[in-house]
Structure 1
């Protein structure tokens, strides 16, 4: 087993594609495949599962990847310390539901640790994909919410993937609306008051179960409903159509301006937002710093709960 083989495994897991990893590593795809095959035979495990849909980490591979990353990181520290080598690019990935505070924290992380070289990823994506990204180590951290309705299903998936949920904050539900919406001056609103306005929600694709919805009260009937796939589109529709969505109430005027505001929703629900990671793997320095940035970015949540 060589350090180069460990780097190959890390790059394939990062890209989710043998072909894409080969391009990034400047070697041929057959050479990369043979190197991984030799490593698997030497160790007597299957690191990557190959299917018609592509390549993914096996359960053994996920555990191996955690150790491989630690070894490679230590080797890079040695090279930097004793060989006067140029610092290696820093890598970090996070997958999250569509939360502005997750972006805020990411900005803080890059500002704090942005060297001459880094490669980071911020994936605003579907709930099921967040769990899968963290399970397969495509992302080190995932951000999602639990409540009484979805907790049993989400926790079951986390347990089967050997993932742990760590609470960040608990919030009372709010709606996000335009400052020009007729409800903007209300101290709070009820579901009945929202019936005349378009309800905006994030689509969940193949896993379009109520339990994976990013918005609470997903089982209610909404007379006017629009599904979107990204936060920018949703915010534009909030303004252009006087629509609304249901979320935590945590917004950032620095990144989102002052055109959208939170208004408390009059209901008995609560939202527990948290981050997920592998249960038995040590977090990187960047992941730990990102978690601290998340806590700082969500400090206002306590005032909204």
Structure 2
């Protein structure tokens, strides 16, 4: 058994067929098929069920692929650790929701790293279930998930089932973000009826973002966006636009001429929770990021207790 065979197997599982995997790997389909058959002979069981629809992992094959992914991740980390290029390199990876205060903390964290150091950093904005899957599969060490209070039992049981550790970071309610010159800017409290004639900018996520608005509200003006980078531009350029968001650092609000208002949220509070492999020990780099994250949250709590 070698690492190349394991990589081939994982690509077949990812692509759903040997033909598609061969194209992705840029090798001949017969050669890939033989490599998979040789691997199955070596391990003593069928990894895939082959049909005209493609290649589907068997039950034991699924377990083997899961272990192989963990092995390859650890092997890659070991190779990187032993290589000369890893010396003086800051290695960091994070899966997190599309939340402005986390991005602010991440920026502060990067600024704290010496300019002479090499960087190898991955910052993924994703759904909570994607983060759980990635951390549980040992592809990444740190993740932040976000859910409503009413979803807590489901998420905590999922984390325990996937053998992940977790730590509560921040509990908050929806806020309305709008331009400083918005017609509702001077109102102390904004109610749902006051928003009917204005345009909501709604961040569309990949499946389970609790900040995602409910669709199908007749007559409501909504613009769905799929890239958080455009939200501030739209809020300031579209007359009367508003957006439901988590609390945003004051520095960012001032930079874009925005304000935030409390909103009577019917769904209760939202929870941001740090997740990691059970028993995992944070590196000094990860500790630095978590310090910046908690400092940012501490500052937010002063304005949004």
Deviates more, 1:152-161 or 1:117-126: 152-161
What residue is the counterpart of 2:18 in the other structure?
none
Q: Which moved more, 1:127-136 or 1:252-261?
A: 252-261
CA shift for structure 1 position 98: 1.2
Contact 1:100–1:252 under 8 Å retained in 2:
no
Measured at CA, do residues 285 and 152 of structure 1 come closer, stay the same or move farther in structure 2, by a change above 3 Å?
A: same
Contact 1:95 1:125 in 2 (8 A): yes
1:236 corresponds to = 233
Larger Rg: 2
> For 1:155-211, what per-residue CA distance to the aligned partner results, in whole angstroms no more than 9, with x for missing partners?
344344333332112123211111121122222212222222222222234x3xxxx
Distance of aligned partners of 1:129 and 1:186 in 2 relative to their CA distance in 1, 3 Å threshold: same
TM (norm. structure 2) is 0.69
| Inter-CA distance 122–72: structure 2 relative to 1 (3 Å threshold) | closer
Instruction: Evaluate the alpha carbon distance shift between residue 133 and residue 180 of structure 1 in structure 2; reply closer, same or farther with a 3 A threshold.
Output: farther
- CA drift at 1:93: 1.6
Q: CA deviation at 1:274?
A: 2.0
Deviation at 1:38, TM superposition (A): 10
1:221 equivalent in structure 2 = 217
Q: Secondary structure at the match of 2:150?
A: coil
Counterparts of 1:60 and 1:256 in 2: how far apart (Å)?
Answer: 52
Does the CA contact (< 8 Å) of 1:163 and 1:279 recur in 2?
A: yes
* Structure 2 residue aligned with 1:178: 179
Aligned-residue Cα RMSD (Å) equals 4.5
- Where does structure 2 lack aligned partners over 5 or more consecutive residues? 16-20, 48-52
Q: Structure 1 length as normaliser, TM-score?
A: 0.69
Q: CA deviation at 1:125?
A: 2.5
Question: How big is each residue's C-alpha offset from its partner over 1:103-149, in whole Å with a ceiling of 9 and x where there is no partner?
Answer: 12222222233554222111223343333332333332222322233
Structure 2: how far apart are the matches of 1:42 and 1:255?
Answer: 60
Deviation at 1:227, TM superposition (A): 1.6
Aligned residue for 1:285? 284
Q: Partner of 1:93: helix, strand, or coil?
A: strand
Q: Distance in 2 between matches of 1:22 and 1:255?
A: 46
- Residues 151-300 of structure 1 aligned to structure 2 (within 5 Å): 151-205=152-206, 207=207, 212-215=208-211, 218=214, 221=217, 223-241=220-238, 242-254=240-252, 257-267=255-265, 269-300=268-299
Shift of 1:252: 4.9
CA distance in 1, matches of 2:171, 2:38: 48
Say if 1:120 and 1:76 are closer, same or farther in 2 by CA, change over 3 A.
Answer: closer
Question: What is the CA-CA distance between 1:22 and the residue it aligns to?
Answer: 8.8
| Consecutive unaligned residues in structure 1, runs of 5 or more | none
**Residues 202 and 213 of structure 1 are in contact (CA less than 8 Å); yes or no, is this contact kept in structure 2?**
no
Report the Cα offset of residue 86 of structure 1: 6.8
In the alignment, what sits opposite 2:108?
A: 108
CA contact (8 A) 2:101 2:296 kept: yes
Name the CA distance, whole Å, in 1 between partners of 2:62 and 2:301: 39
The answer as to whether partners of 1:46 and 1:60 remain within 8 angstroms in 2 is no
Change (3 A) 1:37 1:77: farther
Q: Which shows bigger deviation, 239-248 or 146-155? A: 146-155
- Seen in structure 2, the aligned counterparts of structure 1 residues 131 and 35 have a Cα distance that, compared at 3 Å, is same
Does the aligned pair in 2 maintain the 1:45–1:60 contact within 8 Å? no
| Count, aligned residues | 284
